[in-house]
Amino acid sequence: MSFLKSAQALKPLFDRVLVQRLKPATQTVSGIYIPEKNQEKLNQATVIAAGPGVIGPNGDTIPTSVQAGDKVLLPSFGGSPVKIGEDEYLLYSDKEILAKIEN
Amino acid sequence: MSFLKSAQALKPLFDRVLVQRLKPATQTVSGIYIPEKNQEKLNQATVIAAGPGVIGPNGDTIPTSVQAGDKVLLPSFGGSPVKIGEDEYLLYSDKEILAKIEN
Amino acid sequence: MSFLKSAQALKPLFDRVLVQRLKPATQTVSGIYIPEKNQEKLNQATVIAAGPGVIGPNGDTIPTSVQAGDKVLLPSFGGSPVKIGEDEYLLYSDKEILAKIEN
Amino acid sequence: MSFLKSAQALKPLFDRVLVQRLKPATQTVSGIYIPEKNQEKLNQATVIAAGPGVIGPNGDTIPTSVQAGDKVLLPSFGGSPVKIGEDEYLLYSDKEILAKIEN
Amino acid sequence: MSFLKSAQALKPLFDRVLVQRLKPATQTVSGIYIPEKNQEKLNQATVIAAGPGVIGPNGDTIPTSVQAGDKVLLPSFGGSPVKIGEDEYLLYSDKEILAKIEN
Amino acid sequence: MSFLKSAQALKPLFDRVLVQRLKPATQTVSGIYIPEKNQEKLNQATVIAAGPGVIGPNGDTIPTSVQAGDKVLLPSFGGSPVKIGEDEYLLYSDKEILAKIEN
Amino acid sequence: MSFLKSAQALKPLFDRVLVQRLKPATQTVSGIYIPEKNQEKLNQATVIAAGPGVIGPNGDTIPTSVQAGDKVLLPSFGGSPVKIGEDEYLLYSDKEILAKIEN
């Protein structure tokens, strides 16, 4: 009843980027459980898939600036939610992604 | 009294894409019927026809990125509804389609 | 008292397209007359005349994508009404026409 | 006390077009006088003067698509009114003129 | 206490045009004085100075289309007022000037 | 506690222009003091520093049209105030500056 | 539970610039402590990291105009706050940065 079996089946178009937001901490560093309403929503995410890019002003394709596996910083608004099974994903335009996070 | 005999007769212009939305599940996996008001509208669709594309910044045609038969993820808003007989279709701009769904 | 004797005298400029909307059915398939307020307005139209096109990004003219005689699907809003004698016509921009209808 | 002695003195700039709207019929075809408040405003006009055109995307001038003497169809809104003596004229951008009317 | 000694000292930048509006008639043609509140504001003006122009789409300067001494027709809104001593001037963008008035 | 020791330390980016507004007259020409609330805010300013310019449509830098020391006419709105010590400065985009004032 | 260990791990994309705002003075010059609500928010900041730039109109990358270590003047609005540990940072587009502050 759904074409979508897994996030891997999603191939973003243009410069869209499919990300999965980092889950908020459910315990404090000292091991105390944090109730769900107090868990802080994080703007950090892992890129699951990235589109091929968009056509630039001189007709060439501008490749997307992030790729699958990259850790990224999300803006605090925007993104189109996509639900696959029980998991929540988000689609952003490449231009909306604020920064890569390198280790 | 109508020029439109079938969806096959519709040839979208520019980068427009004619899609048919996936019908929502009418039974649960265990076979219980879901009343219509509880059926979840799906953002998944099959491409019926796609336009030839639009003129890009350097004068060349940018071909539409999806084609008839593709499974796609629709945005949660937008699209122009087209009724043919009893069937509902939607026209989107290629740029509005979020992702292809591959199997 | 009017320059406009017939629709044939109208030569749309740029990418404008003059269309005549398909008249709604006035009888059911079984021959019963439908009162005017119940007649469904159709978004199908015949192209009467099309402009030469607009100048594209590299200076060339992009020809209009439909021509006189084409059957087309109109968007559900927009268009400038033009009355010639007792007949109603509509002017659309080429880009607003959703699709051609082929037989 | 006015620089403007006649419509002929006005030289529209860029793609502006100076038009004079067709006067509404003041009698019915059978010769009965129509009171002014019942006279229908017509969207037909005669071009009095047209500007030289605007600079297009590749730096060339795109000439105005109508010229003095052309009969044209006006949109139902817009235009800058210009009064010269007792006569009313209108200035439109070339792109706003809907169509030429040929005989 | 002011850098501005005369209108001649003002050198408009880009495609800006400094104009002085034609003063409204203060007497009727038969010599009767018109009270100030009945004097009709005129949209006619004399160009005092014009800027060098703006950079066009291909990198060349598009020269301003009017020059000092030209009589012009102003739009009925817009323009930045500039007061020099007791005189009122207006700055318009070249593109806002409707037409030249030739004698 | 501040990086900003003097206006000379500010190097505007792109086509931004740092100006200092002409102080309003505090005495009449005959030597009578004007109370502060009656002093007229002047739209005249001296350019303190100007940015290098912006990238134009063909990839070249369009140099800023004013330079340090120029007297200019400001628009009656806009500008970002910058306070350095007790002095007030304003940052405008080059395109917002109305005119140069030459002596 | 966070990908973000330090500001150094953040690599801004496109023309985004990561800055740290100058901390407001907590004492007067004569050594008196200023209560937090009276401390003046400063629009001066140090650039921590800058993105590679954006694609310009002719397809080349326009490099970001500031780099790590630069002192800059921020606009009084805008910027996306990023919290790393206890420190607050801000992401601006390069075009939003008003000026460099040189010593």
Chain F residues within 8 A of E56 when measuring between CB atoms: 57
Region for A9 from its dihedrals, namely left if φ exceeds 0, alpha if ψ lies in -120 to 50, beta otherwise: alpha
State the pLDDT at residue A1: 60
Over range A9-18, report the average pLDDT. Answer: 96
One DSSP character per residue, chain E reads --S-S-GGGEEE-TTEEEEEEPPPPSB-TTSPBPPGGGSPPP-EEEEEEE---EE-TTS-EE--S--TT-EEEPPSS--EEEEETTEEEEEEEGGG--EEE--
Euclidean distance between CA atoms G83 and G86, whole angstroms: 7
Span F41-84, pLDDT tens digits: 789 999 999 999 999 888 889 999 999 999 999 998 899 999 88
Distance between CA atoms of C82 and F38, rounded to whole angstroms? 58
Say if CB B21 and CB B62 are below 8 A apart: no
Question: pLDDT digit string (tens) for E39-66?
Answer: 777 899 999 999 999 998 888 899 999 9
For residues C40 and C24, give the distance between their C-alpha atoms in angstroms, rounded to a whole number: 6
* Residue E88: pLDDT band with limits 50, 70, 90: very high
Is F89 contained in some domain? yes
Q: What is the mean pLDDT of chain B?
A: 90
Q: Are strands B44-50 and B16-21 parallel, antiparallel or unpaired?
A: antiparallel
Helix (H) or strand (E) holding F49: strand F44-50
* pLDDT at residue C1 greater than cutoff 80: no
Please state, in angstroms and as integers, the Cα–Cα distance from residue G52 to each residue in A47, E65, E76, G64, G75, following that order. Answer: 20, 40, 47, 6, 21
Which residue, among C80, C82, C84, would best test binding to D if mutated, counting the most D CBs under 10 Å from its CB? C80
Structural domains in chain E (count): 1
Confidence of residue F38 (pLDDT cuts 50, 70, 90): confident
Q: Which residues of A touch B55 (CB under 8 A)?
A: none
User: What is the per-residue pLDDT across A25-77, written as a single tens digit (0 to 9) for each?
Assistant: 788 878 888 887 877 778 999 999 999 999 988 888 999 999 999 999 999 88
CB F46 within 8 A of CB F69: yes
Rg (CA), chain C: 16
Query: Which residues are registered as beta bridge partners of B91?
Result: B18, B80
Neighboring chain D residues of E99 at a CB cutoff of 8 Å:
10-13, 16, 18, 51, 91
User: For residue range E27-40, what is the model confidence (pLDDT) as tens digits?
Assistant: 887 888 888 787 77
B80: domain range? 7-24+34-101
| Contact: D65, C13; criterion CB under 8 Å | yes
Determine the 3-state secondary structure of A96 from DSSP.
helix
State the average pLDDT over residues B21-43.
82
C100 DSSP assignment:
E
Taking CA–CA distances from A56, the nearest residue in chain G reads G59
CB of F55 within 8 Å of any CB in chain G?
yes
d(CA B56, CA A60): 10
Is E5 within 8 Å of chain F by CB? yes
More confident residue, E11 or D4: E11
- Is residue G2 in a domain? no
Is residue A3, in this structure, part of any structural domain at all? no
Cα separation, F28 vs D58, in Å, equals: 55
Residue G1: closest CA among chain A residues belongs to which residue? A25
**In the predicted model, is pLDDT for residue F25 greater than 80?**
no
Residue in B with minimal Cα distance to C76: B80
The residue to which tokens 């929502």 are assigned: B24
**Which chains have 3 or more CB–CB distances shorter than 8 Å to chain A?**
B, G
Test A3 with B22 for CB contact under 8 angstroms: yes
| Length, in residues, of chain A | 103
Report for A28-32, C84-88, G6-10, G15-19: range of highest mean pLDDT: G15-19
Task: Enter the DSSP assignment of C26.
Answer: S
Q: What is the pLDDT of residue C19?
A: 97
Residues of G in contact with A24 (CB under 8 A): 1
Distance, in Å, from the CA atom of E17 to the CA atom of E39, rounded to the nearest integer, reads 25
What is the distance between the alpha carbons of residues G7 and G69, in angstroms, rounded to a whole number?
13
Q: Do A10 and B100 touch (CB under 8 A)?
A: yes
Q: How confident is the model at residue E93 (pLDDT cuts 50, 70, 90)?
A: very high
Q: Three-class SS of residue F78?
A: coil
Q: What CATH number does residue B49 fall under?
A: 2.30.33.40
In a 3-state reduction of DSSP, which class is residue C95?
helix
CA A49 to CA B99: how far, in whole Å? 10
Contacts of B98 in chain A (CB under 8 A): 12-13, 16, 80, 82, 91
Q: Is residue F1 part of a domain?
A: no
Q: Which residues of D78-94 are buried (b: 16+ CB within 10 A; e: fewer)?
A: ebbebebeeeebbbbbb
On the question of pLDDT at E1 being above 70, the answer is: no
Q: Cβ of F1 under 8 Å from any chain G Cβ?
A: yes
Convert the pLDDT of each residue in D48-101 to its tens digit. 999 999 998 888 899 999 999 999 999 988 999 998 888 999 999 999 999 999
What is the predicted pLDDT for the residue at B31? 84
Looking at residue A24, its pLDDT comes to 82
* pLDDT band, residue B1 (cuts 50/70/90): low
pLDDT tens digits, one per residue of B37-78 = 877 778 999 999 999 999 988 888 999 999 999 999 999 889
Q: Is residue C2 part of a domain?
A: no
Question: D6-54 pLDDT, tens per residue?
Answer: 889 999 999 999 999 998 878 887 888 888 777 777 899 999 999 999 9
Q: Which of B90, D21, D95, D43 is nearest to C89 (CA)?
A: D43
- Cα separations in angstroms, E53 against D93, E46, E67, F95: 21, 18, 11, 12
- Percentage of chain C beyond pLDDT 70 is 99
Q: What's F3's DSSP letter?
A: S
Least Cα separation, residue E81 to chain F (angstroms): 9
D2 assigned to some structural domain: no
Residue with tokens 């005999």: B5
Residue G72 has pLDDT above 90, yes or no: yes
Nearest-angstrom CA–CA distance, F12 and D31: 74
- C88 in Cβ contact with C81 (< 8 Å): yes
CA dist., res. D78 & res. D39, Å (int): 20
The pLDDT tens digits of the residues spanning G23-53 come to: 887 888 788 888 877 777 789 999 999 999 9
Query: Tell me, what's the pLDDT at G39?
Result: 77
> Quick check: D58 and E57 CB within 8 A?
yes
Reported residue count of chain F is 103
Q: How far apart are CA E86 and CA E84, in angstroms?
A: 6
Q: Are strands G10-12 and B54-55 parallel, antiparallel or unpaired?
A: unpaired
Inspect the interface and report whether the beta carbons of B11 and C102 lie closer than 8 Å. yes
Burial grade of D17 (CB within 10 A; 0-12, 13-18, 19 or more) = buried
Looking at the complex, does the CB of residue G2 fall below 8 Å from at least one CB of chain A? yes
Interface residue B77 vs chain C (CB under 8 A): no
What digits encode the pLDDT tens for the residues B52-61? Answer: 999 988 888 9
User: E2 in a domain, yes or no?
Assistant: no
Does the CA dihedral F53-F55-F61-F62 come out positive or negative? negative
- Chain G residues within 8 A of F80 when measuring between CB atoms: 75-76, 98
CB A101 within 8 A of CB A74: no
The answer, yes or no, to whether residue G1 has pLDDT greater than 80, is no
Q: Which two tokens stand for residue E65?
A: 């289309």
- The DSSP code sequence of A31-61 is SPBPPGGGSPPP-EEEEEEE---EE-TTSSE
D47, D98, D102, D103: best to mutate for the C interface, most C CBs within 10 A: D98
Asked whether residue G34 is assigned to any structural domain, the reply reads yes
Q: What is the pLDDT of residue F1?
A: 60
* pLDDT given for residue C26 in this prediction: 81
ipTM: 0.85
What pLDDT score was predicted for residue B89?
95
Chains that touch B (3 or more CB pairs under 8 A): A, C
